[in-house]
């Protein structure tokens, strides 16, 4: 009886991204019972960010009048390469200075609650598979498109993390062997060509060279302030430079998808993260590339869709992960 | 009792490649009881090749004095994209003219024996996993390097073929987005840069442009006759052009492996096919690229090795597949 009760307790889940930290209380049915968010301010380095994670946890418990004993566990999803076994963030292109940080045990030691740590895109894949657009789909890949590109892989209905827990670094596959070096150490990574950062940089480059675009007005002539979001808005309004920049990134995204389709024959590729808001503006081109270039049988089998759970995918999936562990 | 006996019967296995057809009788313990081989002569098109497969089966039964009723099943491994469900070779870059050929049912209808069909590299992966260098390794990828590049993926101890059975087309991942178009319809495929064909073509190109190499003598001055095997021999003898050509292909191979390591975090990558004979001449460079470019945790976890079963991997694995199906 006591056992059954424990399993019904909520999970406190954290999604630690390069831009923001989302903290939420998730019920055993997958309801988001409470939710807060904070800016990560990742550029300040690991210690202040860890401090913010710890206060987010404390604040969420406080404001919900929850005691630690009323939690089943704490589950952390972080934007980086995770050592599942040891609970480390081994490195993270989007969290500067994070090398082998024992985030899981820092939180566990502080709060004395069973704590888990996984990659944020893996968490989002689990979330979408359990509660979102991927329900009932046994083989799927989720890509988080934002500052970087993360990946989560569901195979035969289960999260595939690989023997070290470090699988799914889809943003760091080379698609341009003659391309520039990525901060991960590899060259010509998908992330450098198809992420939000890549879209913003390409628009900045072209406008700085004097090309005309309504984007220049949106950012008051300061090309450096252009974001992927702004490019998306301009493209929806018919700005031709913005449309070209997005089409270029979408073609690269399609090339990355062709690789995934040929290697893994997934039933579904889900696009999450901030850039998912661009919707078909981004995905129609990517779908076309897959149709033209991937092996026909696999190309016909894959549905390329946007995520359903928005910003909650990570915390929902982190809670699913924690429930699967104990 | 009758059931138990049936399960102990041998499997007649065929490995249909772009260059040759291997036919073998495989015992329930994985012993190769008889083995023959024929040239595929793939350029003659599907009908003559299917004829050769059927006569290979008949001849092997004849010469072993075996009756069809003494077989557990027939299992076919073919170099192409397979529709597992329907038993089709849907297309094959190395078997010209093969589109949606119902090879499984052609053989089944002819011989009236339970018949199976899988991709040849998947079969080799199963073979090496069960009887070769991959024994006891739960997550591995096998690459067959020869005329083309095939792939087989073992995840959590089982062959991963994807929902359509078309996963594993590792040779057809784009690593050079600005590269030339591949016969598969994709661009800048790994196969175009790191296969035996790519090695031979690069050597031919350079020698035709007047560069000096001992290779020119080996082929009596006819650059067009240069094969990857000849390049390997010249490289082992210290020929600097041959060494450069192999180093270039090995670097591309390493780039492909980085992608696999970052996406799937395998414990082992096995190199099979004709080019496996180059051994460390090829693999040392590829290993170095993986070490330098892949995520450290995953890079440290992967062993890059040559296959152990040689030409028998495909027929041994095809037999394993058949035994797993019924």
Q: Is B308 on the interface with A (CB under 8 A)?
A: no
Positions in chain B short of pLDDT 50: 1-2, 4
- pLDDT at residue A1 in the model: 41
Burial of B65 (0-12, 13-18, 19+ CB in 10 A): exposed
- pLDDT at residue B3 in the model: 52
Positions in chain A short of pLDDT 50: 1, 4
Question: Can you tell me which residue has the tokens 């005309």?
Answer: A212
- Rounded to the nearest angstrom, the minimum Cα separation between A137 and chain B is 10
| H or E segment and range at residue B6 | helix B2-8
Q: Is B279 left (phi over 0), alpha (psi -120 to 50) or beta?
A: left
Tell me how far apart the alpha carbons of residues B322 and B318 are, in angstroms, rounded to a whole number.
6
Among A122, A163, A267, pick the best mutation site for testing chain B contact (most B Cβ within 10 A).
A163
First to last CA, chain A: 16
Tell me A189's DSSP state: B
| Nearest residue, CB atoms, B258 vs list A174, A296, A298 | A174
Q: Do A186 and B294 touch (CB under 8 A)?
A: yes
Residues of A in contact with B176 (CB under 8 A): 176-178
Are A316 and A13 in contact by the 8 Å Cβ rule? The answer is yes
| Nearest residue, CB atoms, B265 vs list A91, A166, A260 | A166
Tell me how far apart the alpha carbons of residues A36 and A51 are, in angstroms, rounded to a whole number.
16
Residues near B196 by beta carbon (within 8 Å), at least 6 away in sequence = B145, B146, B147, B227, B228, B229, B273, B274, B275
Q: How distant, in Å, are the alpha carbons of A139, B124, B294 from that of A157?
A: 6, 26, 27
- Could you read off the pLDDT of A16-55 as tens digits, one per residue? 998 899 999 999 999 999 999 999 999 999 999 999 999 9
Q: Is A83 on the interface with B (CB under 8 A)?
A: yes
Furthest C-alpha separation in chain A: 70
Residues of B in contact with A173 (CB under 8 A): 173, 258-259, 262-263
Q: Is B92 on the interface with A (CB under 8 A)?
A: no
- Rounded to the nearest angstrom, the minimum Cα separation between B200 and chain A is 21
- pLDDT at residue A220 in the model: 82
Q: Is B87 on the interface with A (CB under 8 A)?
A: no
**Which of B208, B243, B249 has its CA nearest to residue B225?**
B208
Tell me how far apart the alpha carbons of residues A65 and A69 are, in angstroms, rounded to a whole number.
12
Tell me how far apart the alpha carbons of residues A257 and B174 are, in angstroms, rounded to a whole number.
10
What domains appear along chain B, each with residue ranges and CATH number? 2-120 (3.30.420.40), 133-307 (3.30.420.40)
Q: Is A79 on the interface with B (CB under 8 A)?
A: no
- Could you read off the pLDDT of B86-125 as tens digits, one per residue? 999 998 888 999 999 999 999 999 999 999 999 999 999 9
- Grouping H, G, I as helix, E, B as strand and the rest as coil, residue A305 is strand
- Grouping H, G, I as helix, E, B as strand and the rest as coil, residue B246 is helix
- Rounded to the nearest angstrom, the minimum Cα separation between A198 and chain B is 16
Here the ipTM equals 0.93
Q: Do B295 and A166 touch (CB under 8 A)?
A: yes
Residues near A134 by beta carbon (within 8 Å), at least 6 away in sequence = A125, A128, A140, A142, A154, A268, A270
The answer to whether the Cα torsion of B274, B279, B282, B285 is positive or negative is positive
What residue in B sits closest to A268 (Cα-Cα)?
B163
- pLDDT at residue B140 in the model: 98
Q: Is B83 on the interface with A (CB under 8 A)?
A: yes
- Rounded to the nearest angstrom, the minimum Cα separation between A159 and chain B is 12
What residue in A sits closest to B175 (Cα-Cα)?
A175
- pLDDT at residue A7 in the model: 80
Tell me how far apart the alpha carbons of residues A29 and A226 are, in angstroms, rounded to a whole number.
40
Are B265 and B231 in contact by the 8 Å Cβ rule? The answer is no
- pLDDT at residue B161 in the model: 93
The answer to whether the Cα torsion of A172, A174, A177, A179 is positive or negative is negative
Neighbour tally for A267: CB within 10 Å: 19
Tell me A65's DSSP state: T
Residues of A in contact with B83 (CB under 8 A): 297
Which tokens sit at A229? 């979001």
């Amino acid at each position: 009886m006591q056992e059954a009760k424990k399993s019904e307790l909520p999970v406190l889940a954290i999604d630690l991204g390069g831009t923001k930290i989302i903290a939420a209380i998730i019920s055993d049915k997958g309801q988001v019972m409470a939710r807060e968010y904070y800016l990560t301010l990742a550029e300040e380095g690991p210690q202040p960010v860890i401090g913010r994670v710890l206060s987010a946890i404390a604040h969420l418990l406080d404001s919900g009048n929850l005691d630690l004993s009323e939690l089943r566990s704490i589950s952390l999803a972080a934007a980086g390469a995770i050592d599942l076994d040891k609970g480390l963030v081994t490195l993270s292109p989007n969290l500067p200075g994070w090398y082998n940080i024992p985030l899981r045990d820092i939180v566990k030691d502080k709060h004395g609650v069973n704590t888990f740590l996984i990659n944020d895109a893996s968490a989002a894949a689990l979330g979408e598979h359990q509660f979102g657009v991927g329900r009932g789909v046994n083989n799927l890949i989720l890509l988080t498109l934002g500052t970087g590109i993360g990946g989560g892989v569901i195979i035969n209905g289960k999260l595939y993390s690989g023997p070290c827990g470090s699988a799914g670094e889809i943003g760091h596959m080379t698609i341009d062997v003659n391309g520039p070096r990525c901060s991960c150490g590899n060259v010509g990574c998908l992330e450098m060509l198809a992420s939000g950062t890549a879209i913003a940089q390409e628009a900045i480059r072209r406008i700085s060279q004097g090309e005309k675009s309504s984007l220049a007005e949106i950012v008051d002539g300061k090309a450096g302030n252009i974001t992927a979001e702004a490019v998306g808005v301009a493209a929806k309004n018919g700005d031709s430079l913005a449309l070209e920049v997005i089409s270029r990134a979408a073609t690269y995204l399609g090339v990355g998808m062709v690789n995934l389709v040929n290697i893994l024959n997934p039933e579904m590729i889900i696009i999450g993260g901030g850039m998912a808001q661009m919707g078909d503006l981004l995905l129609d081109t990517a779908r076309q590339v897959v149709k033209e270039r991937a092996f026909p049988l696999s190309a016909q089998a894959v549905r390329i869709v946007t995520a359903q759970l928005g910003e909650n995918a990570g915390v929902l999936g982190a809670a699913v992960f924690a429930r699967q562990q104990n």
